[in-house]
Chain A
Amino acid sequence: MTATTADARPPELRLPKRRGVELSLLIGAVFISVYGYAAVGLARNDAVPPDVAGYGAGLGLLALLAHLAVRFRAPFADPLLLPIAVLLNGLGLVLIYRLDLETPRNQAATTQLIWSTLGVAFFIAVVVVLRDHRVLQRYAYLSVAVALVLLIVPIFFPAVNGAKIWIRIGGLSFQPGEFAKILLAVFFAAYLAANRNALAYTGRRVWKLQLPTGRVLGPIVAIWLFSVGVLVLERDLGTSLLFFGLFVILLYVATGRTGWIAVGLLLAAAGAFVVGSFEPHVHSRVEDWLNPYATIEAGQGPSQLAQSLFAFAAGGLFGTGLGLGHSILIGFAAKSDFILATAGEELGLAGLTAVFMLYALLVARGFRAGLALRDPFGRLLSIGLASILALQVFVIAGGVMGLIPLTGMPMPFLAQGGSSVVTNWIIVALLIRVSDVARTPDPDAVAAAREEP
């Protein structure tokens, strides 16, 4: 996103480590989260919540441990990634805690804090254990096998709110599709990195499109179609859209063939039309999107989407203030799919823009690491991970704000949902890892990059 030089070899900069910057940003992120937590209590009960110190200490400790892991095992990593993740996660906890006040029977903040802790633990584990992202390339086929299993398993479990994307074991439930995102990104990156020349330059030419040989393209298209098919079967339209976007972006970056985007868009349009017309669950979502106020006109009260739009409108430019909105009117998914509506109502357009900017920075930093890396796999992996975040934010934010049809997906870090938080922490850990490699001054790698066409 930050255009600096023309398409040329990576810059030979001796980058400083910037760990001090990261630490001060982390302190700021924790401070903002604690401030928000206190603001909710003050607005609701005229008192700072009694456990504000505990919340601050907990979030601070998580941030510190993550920071120490980065400081010792990825010292050259991008200093913005971790503070943004901590701030978004902290803000999400504040919003969930705030919504918990409205639903005394359904307390989610504590669970979310436990999942966040687990997420940070995974983050630390990835940063500590994974010394070089290129190792992952070796496990490409294992990744895709596990991903496919994870995707298929929920079919055998009952649907929750219309979508079969959960696995319930005992009291725990998690969404395997979330983890499959990372595994598929690893596989796509590895496969495309290995076969990109063959994809770009072999095979027959049809009109303006260079068709690669079926032997090269076949396996990846098959896997992709299979995943999307399974997701459609599970009625998880959001994730299938995400996989689709991820695949098209990576294919385009790997081959540089604009035609793939055209083909992708055509396929997507056709698929969306077919599914939107014939699958009742999806069809109703499309209807809602086209006319969010139909249920009001029919005398059945506002739909969730209409309630969400009401919430955003109530926020206006500066918002009602934390704890002072009525986003609970949105109903059962207020803490998960629709959590952005609470941000929109209580923080206003100003706060929402800030949140979008945090995501944009996270994505931009992912792309930046991709630009700075020398190996195609690392590049594709970081682009893939950053694109997952960007697409997910767009699909869910666009959905709850009436820009595109609604698809149930969690807002990264903000929304209630264990698998989602853990997955996003792993994504950030991988970005930390690739950015560390990208920014480490390494004469050999620079030399190697020079030889690359």
Chain B
Amino acid sequence: MIRYIRRAAGFCLLLLVALLANAARVQIFEADELNSNAANRRTTIDRYDRPRGNILVGGDPVTGSRDTGEQLAYERTYRHGPMYAPVTGYASQTYGTTLLENAEDGILSGTDPILAPLPLWGDVTRSRQPGGDVVTTIDASAQRAAYEGLDGRRGAVAALEPATGRILALVSSPSYDPEVLSGTGSSVTDAWVRLNGAPSQPLLNRALRETYPPGSTFKIVTAAAALDARVVTDPEAGTDTPSPYILPGTSTVLPDEARGCRKASLAEAIRVSCNTVMAHLGVEVGLEGMLETVGRFGFNDNDLKIPSRVARSNFDSEMTDDQLALSSIGQFDTAATPLQMAMVASAVANGGELMRPRLVDRVTTDDGDTVRQEGNESYHRAMNPTTAQQLQRMMVDVVENGTGTNGAVDGVTVGGKTGTAQHGVGNSGIPYAWFISWAQAPDSGRPAVAVAVVVEDASADRADVSGGGDAAPIARAVMEAALED
């Protein structure tokens, strides 16, 4: 009997070995796979078990965290949520993160190894640091001026500091309060459904992610191309443009809404916004020259990040001359984000040097030690310095004597360009009102701000819609706010 008892004991030993081997399988060999399973809530619970770092504007957080005492403990709160939503995005326990909340998630959630005092040790212990803070380049007063200027109308504002590329304002309207998406549960899913279903598309970041036909504001780009290509050598000299202008290879007549465009000079064409002159100049520069210039301004760039991705602004690379003519005045398939058009104004103001736009100034630990400082970086030299100087004069002329007088700021040099972009089937929609501009204080060696404003649903009736009337006052308010600092 003893032999059989020993064998039975051996059988039990076998069971034990099987258990231990299986435990090692689950806890060691398959652990990584199980831990990263999307249905495993542990990652999520860990993620929310401490307050998230904050996004700062002008030294003050525009975000916060609230301990709900639930399984996913900390939920995001926002101060002035709708105003800063195009900057922060949302950090939702249900719908994930967007914009800065997304781009800097590693810092804000504390998982970025850069936050660890001893990075390698952090890897070993798998410990997490408290969430770090993200200091933005946003100027609170410029942001407020832009937000209040749009006043709930559909549209967007982007403002840059030309010499550095720092984004001073980024507003999309109508907006939403990201806080309504923070947590979990039916109130969040209801808000999500409501926001996504709203015809005004409040979740759309119009400043970064929506492209509009830029209309006449695009003429600055065409002018830069013409001057750089020496198609025009003297902006004050008359051109040989007929008015009306018949699009090359077609019998389509391109009219002017402005007067006095026949054989007008480039400067005159910018001041009163002549379609014919600029369309003709675009054709004279040619598709290749136009593509090179628009590329240096940032068009057709799929990878622009600030650090959130910016939608690609478009200028077609294959076109017939008549299409090129229309594209050169910001029509046909030409489309630009408000940020892109702010970059155009910025390049002119900064002597032709276009700085890479950026939204983050620096990143700190939760107790304020800087762990990453963003530097100024050139994006492209968009045009020759002489060309930039000539365009600056022309844009100042627009504000002082042309279509952009509503953008003038007392005692300050302001350059601008209006635009009224038609769209819709047969141009039936209410045109988009554009204004791009820059401002330089007289005692300052460099421009303070470059702005682009687009207003989609300008409230006046169609005949009165104009960049000068609807968009320029908003740009002026933003410039004044930026100049005060």
Which residues in A have some Cβ–Cβ distance to B below 8 Å? 1, 3, 7-8, 249, 252-254, 256, 293, 296, 301-302, 306, 309-310, 312-317, 326, 329, 344, 348-349, 352-353, 356, 359-360, 363-364, 367, 370-371, 376, 379, 383, 386-387, 390-391, 393-394, 397-398, 401-403
The stretch of B25-33, B327-335, B409-417, B433-441 that contacts the partner chain = B25-33
Contact assessment for B2 and A1 in the assembled complex, using a CB-CB cutoff below 8 Å: no
Cβ contacts under 8 Å, A391 to chain B:
15
Known: A1-B9, A249-B11, A398-B18. A312 touches B1 (CB 8 A): no
Known: A309-B26, A312-B27, A387-B12. A398 touches B19 (CB 8 A): yes
Q: Scan B10-22; emit 1 where CB is below 8 A from any A CB, else 0.
A: 1111011011101
Cβ contacts under 8 Å, A3 to chain B:
6
Known: A329-B42, A363-B12. A353 touches B28 (CB 8 A): no
Which of chain A's residues has its CB closest to B26's CB?
A312
Residue B35 lies at the interface, judged by CB distance under 8 Å to chain A: yes
Cβ contacts under 8 Å, A256 to chain B:
1, 3-4
B26, chain A: closest CB distance, angstroms: 5
| Chain B contact residues, majority secondary structure | helix
Known: A379-B1, A394-B15. A312 touches B42 (CB 8 A): no
Contact assessment for A326 and B9 in the assembled complex, using a CB-CB cutoff below 8 Å: no
Partner among A252, A326, A359, A383 whose Cβ is within 8 Å of the Cβ of B42: A326
A249 CA to B26 CA, complexed, in Å: 29
Q: A253-B1, A326-B41 are in contact. List 19 more A-B contacts (CB 8 A).
A: A1-B12, A7-B2, A302-B39, A302-B40, A310-B34, A313-B31, A313-B33, A313-B35, A316-B28, A316-B31, A344-B27, A356-B20, A390-B15, A391-B15, A397-B19, A401-B23, A402-B22, A402-B26, A403-B19
Contact assessment for A349 and B42 in the assembled complex, using a CB-CB cutoff below 8 Å: no
B56, chain A: closest CB distance, angstroms: 31
Q: Which of B18, B33, B37, B40 has the most CB of A within 10 A?
A: B40
Q: Which of B3, B22, B30 has the most CB of A within 10 A?
A: B22
Contact assessment for A367 and B23 in the assembled complex, using a CB-CB cutoff below 8 Å: no
Cβ contacts under 8 Å, B24 to chain A:
349
Closest 4 CB pairs between A and B? Answer: A313-B34, A313-B31, A1-B9, A390-B12
Known: A253-B5, A256-B1, A403-B22. A310 touches B37 (CB 8 A): yes
Known: A8-B2, A253-B4, A379-B5. A401 touches B26 (CB 8 A): yes
Classify chain B: how many residues form its interface, as a range: 35 or more
A329 CA to B15 CA, complexed, in Å: 28
Contact assessment for A252 and B39 in the assembled complex, using a CB-CB cutoff below 8 Å: no
29 contacts between A and B (CB under 8 A): A1-B13, A7-B3, A252-B4, A253-B1, A253-B4, A306-B39, A309-B34, A313-B32, A314-B31, A317-B28, A326-B45, A329-B41, A349-B28, A353-B20, A356-B23, A359-B16, A360-B12, A360-B13, A364-B12, A371-B2, A371-B5, A379-B1, A383-B8, A390-B15, A390-B16, A393-B19, A401-B19, A402-B22, A402-B26
Contact assessment for B23 and A353 in the assembled complex, using a CB-CB cutoff below 8 Å: yes
Which of chain A's residues has its CB closest to B10's CB?
A1
Contact assessment for A403 and B18 in the assembled complex, using a CB-CB cutoff below 8 Å: yes
B394, chain A: closest CB distance, angstroms: 60
Which of chain B's residues has its CB closest to A319's CB?
B27
Q: Which of B4, B9, B20, B34 has the most CB of A within 10 A?
A: B9
